[in-house]
Structure formats: C-alpha cells, structure tokens
Homo-oligomer: A and B are copies of this chain.
Amino acid sequence: MKYINQLRMEFMSIPDNVGLARLTVAAFASQLDYTVSEIDDIKGAISEAVSNAIIHGYEGRPENTVRIVASLTTRGLEVIVEDTGKGIENVKEAMLSGYSSVPERLGLGFSFMQSFMDEVAVLSEPMKGTRVIMFKQLGRRGDYASEN
C-alpha cells in the first residue's frame, strides 16, 4: 500500500480541539475524491474518537495530549486517534451501542464510528491508553439517500 500523504497531529486535551481535529482531518481527507457525505462521516467519526480521548481517556484534564495519525492511500483514509489516558477494561462491552460509563452520556460514540467508517478497531490497555484505528474506503458508498 503506497501512502499518498500522511499527517500527524498532537494537541492538548481540551474541547476546543475537537472541532480543530474534525476540520483538519476532513480537509486532509478531501485530497482524495470523497463525496460530501463521506467527508461528513469522517468528521463525525473524528469527533467521537477525540471527544472520547478527552472525556474518558483523560477524564477532562486539559494538560494531556491527543494524537492523530492520518494516512491517505489509493484505497482510502486510515486514521488513528490515540490517548495515553486511563484505558478501557472491557473493550467489547465499551463498544456496545448504548453502553457508557458516564450516566449522562448516550453510549453511542463507538457505534457512530462504526456506522461512519468501514473499519474500526480499538486497542486499549488500562492505565496505558486507547488507540482507535479507523478506515474509510474510497468510492464505496453513495450519498445518504442511496444507503437507505
């Protein structure tokens, strides 16, 4: 697999940077020939993964670092969102739709990532951190309408 382009970014774990990450990865992915709705999907997935790193991984502490590695290949966008925060004890349970360890949250983050992207893998170790690896295939989906 040949890399067409590669971007790494690291930023402080504060809510302002969720929008920054979304915008940057979307602009990066736009170098490939994605549709508008595919770019919206990518924004959604990044938003969920980065929010999780900030809220859950670092439990809202701002002085930590969230890291994103995004790569473009002829097949599509691969993007890794990672934190060195508290990690997840049971990844399978965490990924269940509706499961959240925080009462007022919906527990839909991981299922949104799975709906928006073609592949989602989560590697996590308690006290070490979490890495979410996502892939969005190029030329796979049509717009919203044709999916329904």
Interface centre among A8, A27, A31 (most CB of B within 10 A): A27
Stretch at the interface among A13-21, A99-107, A127-135, A136-144: A13-21
Task: Flag if A27 contacts B31 (CB, 8 Å).
Answer: no
Q: Is the CB of A20 within 8 A of B11?
A: no
Closest 9 CB pairs of A and B: A8-B10, A9-B9, A24-B24, A7-B11, A16-B31, A6-B12, A23-B27, A5-B12, A20-B27
Chain copies in complex: 2
Within residues 1 to 55 of chain A, which ones have a CB less than 8 A from any CB in chain B? 3, 5-12, 14, 16-17, 19-20, 23-24, 27-28, 31
Asked whether A7 lies within 8 Å of B20 as measured between CB atoms, the reply is yes
